[in-house]
Amino acid sequence: MVLMPVILLFFGGVRTSATAISLTDTLQMNDSASYTRINALASLQINQISLSNWAEGGESNWSGITFGKFNLLYRKDKMKVEFTTHLGYGLSWSKEHGRRKSDDRVDLSVGFGYSAFKKWYYSSVVKFKSQFSKGYKYPDDSTVVSDLLSPANVFASLGLEYKPADYASVFLSPASGRFILVMNQELADKGAYGVTQAVRNDSGCVIVPGRNLRAEFGINVILNLRRDIMRNVNLDSKLNLFNNYLDEDTGNRWNIDVDWETAFNFKINSYLSSNLFLHFLYDHEVAIPTVEMMDGKKVEVGVGPKLQFREHFGIGLSVKV
């Protein structure tokens, strides 16, 4: 049902000089008899630009991003179980730069809750975040900076959840474990993402391999908001905060890691939709290079933690089921 319109729209758009295509399927189920509510969203966006003898410069390119969200909530008596998954992948291509990855995510979470009092639940949450494939230090397409399970972040938290309404929740966990996996040994040997780096001899050969796991223990706060903020405009926002009690460097124990994702979904009419996605990320263990222009070339002059940001915007056709 979805594939054929995508193919027709894609090949119909390639003949134009600039094309933006977005196809979305949304599925909602609410079965009161089974105490289960399901929400699902799938989207594919394709953008294409073609230039020929264009005096102002530029290059022909195309890009595509696909993502899917799935949420299942089961609630009966005093118990509730919620499972959420968010998958995404994007590529861009041009003659000058070839193929590059523009988006890559695997985000899974499962939560269990038991009613404590009024709108509070005793809760436990397990979260997993990683990516599908290798990422490179562009424009250098030979230096790997990420890979499958490199990194992977696993959170296991116990605490209380306050849920004043179905569209909003606050989870507080004073006892949360965070496990950072770096299974690519080359990255682990470099000490990427905070794991212990390899021990090398004077000639640079590895004597003791870098560790593939870093464990942390601290406080975790998760805020969720998912609701219509006005007619035909839906907001889906999630803020995850984590502080490591036991950092070996006591000066870092006041640092708070921030992971904030916000999506605005706009329904233009029965056939057109648009979405804007914003992602702010700060992790004190992730070193970001500082680059300056010297003699017309980009030169790395240092590394350190920085606020990371990405955004993408898409508009096109939508289909609801």
Could you give the number of structural domains in the chain?
1
Cα 177 → chain centroid: 20
Q: Are 89 and 106 in contact (CB under 8 A)?
A: no
**pLDDT value of residue 106:** 96
**Cβ-proximal residues to 197 (8 Å cutoff; 6+ apart), any chain:** 188, 189, 190, 191, 210
DSSP label of 147: B
Q: Are 275 and 263 in contact (CB under 8 A)?
A: yes
Contact between 67 and 91 under an 8 Å Cβ cutoff? The reply is no
Answer positive or negative: Cα dihedral of 5, 310, 185, 244.
Answer: negative
Residue 204 maps to a domain: no
Q: Is residue 248 in a domain?
A: yes
Residue 28, pLDDT score? 53
What is the rounded distance in angstroms from the CA atom of residue 146 to the CA atom of residue 183?
Answer: 10
Rounded CA separation 183/55 (Å)? 48
C-alpha–C-alpha distance, residues 321 and 32, integer Å: 19
Q: What is the largest CA-CA distance in the chain?
A: 69
d(CA 252, CA 168): 31
As a whole number of angstroms, the distance between CA 78 and CA 115 comes to: 5
Q: For residue 2, what pLDDT is reported?
A: 36
Cα R_g (the chain), whole angstroms: 22
Spell out the SS3 assignment of 158-170: EEEEEEEECCEEE
pLDDT at 43: 78
Establish if 188 belongs to a structural domain.
Answer: no
Predicted confidence (pLDDT) per residue in 159-206, tens digit: 999 999 888 999 999 999 999 999 999 999 999 999 999 999 999 899
Q: Is residue 258 part of a domain?
A: yes
What range defines the domain where residue 136 resides? 3-171+215-320
Integer Cα distance of 225 and 215 in angstroms = 29
pLDDT tens per residue, range 108-126: 999 999 999 889 999 999 9
By CB atoms closer than 10 A (0-12, 13-18, 19+), residue 270 is exposed
Q: Which alpha helices (DSSP H) does 1-135 contain, by range?
A: 3-14
| Neighbouring C-beta atoms of residue 290, cutoff 10 Å | 12
| Mean pLDDT of all residues in 294-321 | 77
Q: pTM for this one?
A: 0.83
pLDDT tens sequence across 226-236: 999 998 899 99
Q: Kindly state whether residue 178 falls inside one of the protein's structural domains.
A: no
The answer to whether position 89 is within a domain reads: yes
Look up residue 310 and give its amino acid: R
Q: Within a domain: residue 195?
A: no
7-21, 86-100, 105-119, 223-237: the lowest-pLDDT one: 7-21
| Tokens, residue 237 | 């926002």
Q: What average pLDDT does the structure give for the chain?
A: 84
Distances (CA, A) of 64 to 97, 213, 263: 16, 33, 18
**What is the sign of the dihedral through the CA atoms of 270, 30, 229 and 220?**
negative
Amino acid sitting at position 246: L
Residues 82 and 73 sit within 8 Å (Cβ to Cβ): yes
Asked whether residue 286 is domain-assigned, the answer is yes
Q: Strands 206-208, 199-200: parallel, antiparallel or unpaired by DSSP?
A: antiparallel
What pLDDT sits at residue 209?
96
Q: Which of 54-58, 186-190, 232-236, 250-254 has the lowest mean pLDDT?
A: 54-58
Average pLDDT over residues 70-96: 90
